[in-house]
Amino acid sequence: MTSTTPPLHSAVERLRAEHGPALILGDDCDLSDDLAVEIDPDAHLTLGNRVSIRRGVTIQVHRGATVSIGDDVAIGEHTCISAMVGISIGTGAALSNMVDLHDHNHRARTTEHVPTRQLVHWASGYEAAPIIIGPGAILSDKVTVTAGVRIGANALVGANALVGANAVVSHSIAPDTVATGVPADSRRTFNGAPGPREDPRTLTVGFFGTSIMEHLEAVNAQMTTQANLPEVGSKVTVEDWAQRGWVHRLALSLRAAWPHIAFDVHNHGKGGATSRDIARIVEADRATTCTDYDLVFLGCGINDVWRRFQGRTSEAVDLDEYARHLSAMLDQLSGYTRRIVVVSETPFGPVEDPATVAAMNAGLARYSAAAHVAATAHGALFLDVWAPFTAAARHLADGPAALWSDGVHLTELGDTILLQQAEQLLAEYRIVEELQDYPPLERDAALAAYGPMLTRSRPANA
């Protein structure tokens, strides 16, 4: 019997017939006849214009996932692309031969994950996080990219045949970077060619503390406009208050060091706040904004101690209550924050007579010790700024007056010491580098959390 169904003359026709609206194919694509494409229900694959895919390639788009491949992308032989939440390959990117992109892993076979004790490989379930390959990025032969990684625009991964073969990218790579090794790490950067602007990775950073974090300054636009500064001796009107100090300077430092990342900074510092007040601020922030943080700095205690010496005993917070508040805040923040840094309070400067200041600092040191214990118990980092401050006050010719404007609030030099300590801690633990990765989540949770950032490549009815 002779079939009356016309043959499918190309891979493009075959794929359109097999997958219908679950697949968008651009114009002038060059696809190998043996390209294997699997698209599960509620999944979607988009290939842009002029995409080239060589022989032996497999693309798997599992239930609910999205794979988006931009215009002018080239994919080499025997490459595997497998998504349970989403993979995006930017315009002009190139994947050489035998590249492997898997945005998911098996979860450990724990009793929690396998309550039925089934001896099948899928019983423990999966965890997943998106993979984002930026425009113009190039991945050399046998490069493996793991879940949650973002490779920036123009990056060149595994380029050196001697040290770059079989590179494994397990952490995000910045734009305009050559990266090699297992795990792949930056070897050098270069002046990248201009190209399509990619949506930046956004890191949300929160600060909860006292006036040391809040650091209000009066604002008048004319005071900072170099071309229109007021005359010496003239008067200006305070137009607003702005938050400055070490938090503001750290935010600027982060943006300067990682211009390809968007930092969404929330400064919840509050002048005069005790740990009792800051615990309420943490609770109110969660209740009203539901913000998930990538990084939080938490510091309190100075007002807990100071209020007692001011005779404001009803506002003072004793050490046991302070420890309870700090532990409660860490418990709460740990539920929606990837990294927490507990910052010791800065010591008191010449706010009272020397004997009283010594007694105040002896008390405050005990609060800082309790903060260190609480941080360790909750898996948070502890930033101890006490020693750098006391050393600077001892060695500077003008002593404490150089660090404190009034014995409590910091001068620009005091702010700089705090800034340097924060920057050193971030660098020592590679915190920003670590936070660029998308954290793997249980498969369905990953689809809920990350799906919206990828589904815009789907048509409205898909």
Q: Residue 319 is encoded by which pair of tokens?
A: 């050490």
- Name the H helices within 124-257: 211-214, 221-224, 245-257
User: Can you read off the two tokens belonging to residue 232?
Assistant: 């010496």
Q: Are 341 and 297 in contact (CB under 8 A)?
A: yes
Q: Does residue 130 form part of some domain?
A: yes
- Quote the pLDDT of residue 159: 64
Reply yes or no on whether the pLDDT at 167 is more than 80. Answer: yes
Confidence class of residue 106 from pLDDT cuts 50, 70 and 90? confident
Residue 312 burial (CB count, 10 A): 12
The answer to whether residue 280 scores a pLDDT higher than 90 is yes
The average pLDDT across 414-430 equals 97
> Same domain, yes or no, for 123 and 269?
no
Given this model, what pLDDT does residue 260 score?
Answer: 93
Q: Does residue 237 share a domain with residue 362?
A: yes
**Number of folded domains in the chain?**
2
Q: Evaluate whether residue 462 is within a structural domain.
A: no
SS3 185: strand
Beta bridge partners of 340: 296
Average confidence score pLDDT of the chain: 91
Strands 144-145 and 100-102: parallel
206: in domain: yes
CB of 380 within 8 A of CB of 341?
yes
**pLDDT confidence of residue 199:** 84
- What pLDDT score does 223 carry? 83
pLDDT of residue 461: 62
Structural domain range at position 421 = 201-435
In the structure, what pLDDT confidence band is assigned to residue 114 with cuts at 50, 70 and 90?
confident
Q: Is residue 101 over pLDDT 60?
A: yes
Q: Is the domain of 222 the same as that of 356?
A: yes
Q: How far is CA 431 from CA 148, 194, 411, 423, in A?
A: 16, 28, 27, 10
If pLDDT is split at 50, 70 and 90, which confidence band does 162 have? very low
One domain for residues 190 and 212: no
Count of residues making up the chain: 462
Task: Give the pLDDT band (50/70/90) at residue 398.
Answer: confident
Any idea which residue has 């801690």 for tokens? Answer: 425
Lowest mean pLDDT among 158-167, 233-242, 407-416: 158-167
With 50 as the cut, is the pLDDT of residue 291 above it? yes
- Show the 3-state SS of 92-127: CCEECCCCEEECEEECCCCCCCCCCCCCCCCCCCEE
Which distant-in-sequence residues (6+ apart) come within 8 Å of 374 by Cβ?
323, 326, 327, 330, 342, 380
- Per-residue model confidence (pLDDT) at position 1: 45
**What percent of the chain is predicted at pLDDT more than 70?**
96
Q: What CA–CA distance (Å, rounded) separates 361 from 351?
A: 11
Please state the rounded mean pLDDT for residues 15-35: 94
Q: Are 360 and 309 in contact (CB under 8 A)?
A: yes
The CATH number given to whatever domain includes residue 230 is 3.40.50.1110
Whether residue 320 is contained in a domain is answered as yes
CB atoms within 10 A of CB 83: 27
Give the chain's radius of gyration (CA, Å): 28
Average pLDDT over residues 312-338: 97
pLDDT for the residue 312:
95
Task: Report if residue 6 sits inside a domain.
Answer: no
List, in order, residues 6 or more apart from 262 with CB less than 8 Å away. 200, 201, 202, 203
Give residue 163's pLDDT.
44
Domain-located, residue 3: no
| pLDDT: which is higher, 2 or 222 | 222
Q: Are residues 282 and 418 in the same domain?
A: yes
119/225 same-domain check: no
Report the alpha-carbon distance of residue 123 to residue 145 in Å, rounded: 24
Mean pLDDT over 211-237 rounds to 88
Confidence of residue 153 (pLDDT cuts 50, 70, 90): very high
Alpha-carbon gap, residue 203 to 257, rounded angstroms = 14
Confidence at 459, pLDDT banded by 50, 70, 90: confident
Helices (H), 132-220: 211-214
For residues 459 and 243, give the distance between their C-alpha atoms in angstroms, rounded to a whole number: 43
Within this chain, do residues 256 and 397 fall inside the same structural domain, yes or no? yes
Residue 421 within a domain = yes
Do 255 and 174 belong to one domain? no
Q: Which residue has the tokens 């840094």?
A: 341
Gap between the Cα atoms of 174 and 171, Å rounded: 10
- The overall pTM is greater than 0.75: yes
Q: What are the start-end ranges of the H helices in 348-454?
A: 354-377, 386-395, 412-428, 431-435, 443-454
Same structural domain for residues 254 and 181?
A: no
Q: Which residues contact 284 (CB under 8 A, 6 or more apart)?
A: none
| pLDDT tens digits, one per residue of 48-93 | 999 999 999 999 999 999 999 999 999 999 999 999 999 999 999 9
Bridge partner list, 351: none
Tell me the CATH number at 93: 2.160.10.10
pLDDT at residue 4 tops 60: no
| 237 and 158 assigned to the same domain | no
Is residue 227 domain-shared with residue 135, that is, in the same domain? no
| pLDDT in the model for residue 161 | 46
Indicate whether 136 pLDDT > 50.
yes
* pLDDT tens by residue, 238-254: 888 888 999 999 999 99
